[in-house]
Structure formats: C-alpha cells, structure tokens
Structure 1
Amino acid sequence: MNTPDREHRHGYSHDKDRYSARLKRVEGQVRGIQRMIEEDQYCIDILTQITAITSALENVGLSLLDEHLKHCVAGAVHSSADGASGDAHTAVDAKVEEAMQAIKRMVKS
C-alpha cells in the first residue's frame, strides 16, 4: 500500500468532513445492530439493517474510487503528458493497476 508523505493531498481531502460524517452514521448503525441483537430483535429486521450498512459502505467506497480516478489517476496521466518520459508512463500504469485491484476487491466483497 502506498504511504505518501504528509504534504500530499488526496482527491477526497476537500470532502473529509462529509466522509467522516457518513462513516460515523455507519458506526451508529453498527451499534444499533449490536443493540438489536442484545435485545433479541427479529432476524429480518437485523438483516435489513446489515443491508443498509453494506450499501452505505459501498457508496463511500465508490465515492472514494471516483475521487481516486479523478485525482490520482488523472494526475498521473497529466504528469505523463507533460513529461512524456518512460517513468511517467510507468506511474500511469501503476495508478491504473492500483485502481483495478481496488475495483476487483470491491466487486468480490
């Protein structure tokens, strides 16, 4: 996994608060499911909540993937076009491969 220096801004940086709020909502939903199980709630109601959480996490993942493609991959393409060096093309290939691996993991889950 890449660990860029602290100066590097990711594509989602401008929306960190929104992502954080969405994930806190998911966290609350998970706690709600824990409570439902402790209270012996109906199975289907719990499964419905799990489906909602799964959907919410998938949406966060798709938004992050979109930001990655628009920012990181597009940035590598622009750098490649500006520099036109072999290293720049290798960086583009690496970013595209990284995105494809993330897509494959998302599709499998």
Structure 2
Amino acid sequence: MTGDEQSIAQVLNRLRRAHGQLAGVISMIEAGRDCREVVTQLAAVSRALDRAGFKIVASGLRDCLDSEGADGRPEITEAELEKLFLALA
C-alpha cells in the first residue's frame, strides 16, 4: 500500500485492533460464551475491518484527487472522502 505515513499508520492500527478483537471472538466461542456476546464482538470486528478498508480507499482517492482548486486549497480532504464512504456503508 502506498500513501502518506499517517494514513498507513491509521490503517495498521485499525487492522491490529480487528486482529485482537477476532482473537477475542475465537476465545469466546471456545469458552462457550453467550451467542449475543459473540455476535456483538463479531460485529465490532466487522466494523473495524470496514473502517480500515474505507481508509485505504479514501487514501487512494486522495492521492488521485490531490489537485488544488482555484484558491490553492485541496478541493476535498481525505477526512471528507472517508466520511462520504462511511455514510454509504
């Protein structure tokens, strides 16, 4: 993956969090925990993965759209792109 170091660090943090959550879900299933608790944690893993994916897409689009408007400012920020993708999810 290419992009600025901050975006890459954020993606890696989200993926590490999802990794830890998934390990927790596996442990919960092995321990015979209540299915509602397992599903709740599994949903958290899914959201963490989705957010990492959206960040990757937003970063890629940001690189493509890194042109400046007439006022010299970027036409759309990476945060704005990420919000748009999250709104669609």
Confirm or deny a common fold (TM above 0.5): yes
Residue 26 (structure 1) aligns with = 18
List runs of 5+ in structure 1 lacking aligned partners: 1-8, 79-102
List runs of 5+ in structure 2 lacking aligned partners: 68-84
Residue 40 (structure 2) aligns with = 48
Seen in structure 2, the aligned counterparts of structure 1 residues 42 and 64 have a Cα distance that, compared at 3 Å, is: same
Residue 15 (structure 1) aligns with = 7
Seen in structure 2, the aligned counterparts of structure 1 residues 12 and 47 have a Cα distance that, compared at 3 Å, is: farther
Identity %: 26
Normalised to the residue count of structure 2, the TM-score between the two structures is 0.65
Instruction: Considering fraction of residues, name the structure with more helix.
Output: 1
| C-alpha separation in 2, matches of 1:74 and 1:60 | 20
| C-alpha separation in 2, matches of 1:12 and 1:53 | 25
Alignment partner of 1:69 is 2:61: yes
* Alignment length (residue pairs): 69
Normalised to the residue count of structure 1, the TM-score between the two structures is 0.54
| C-alpha separation in 2, matches of 1:65 and 1:39 | 36
State which structure, 1 or 2, has the greater radius of gyration over its C-alpha atoms. 1
TM-superposed CA distance for 1:10, in Å, is 1.9
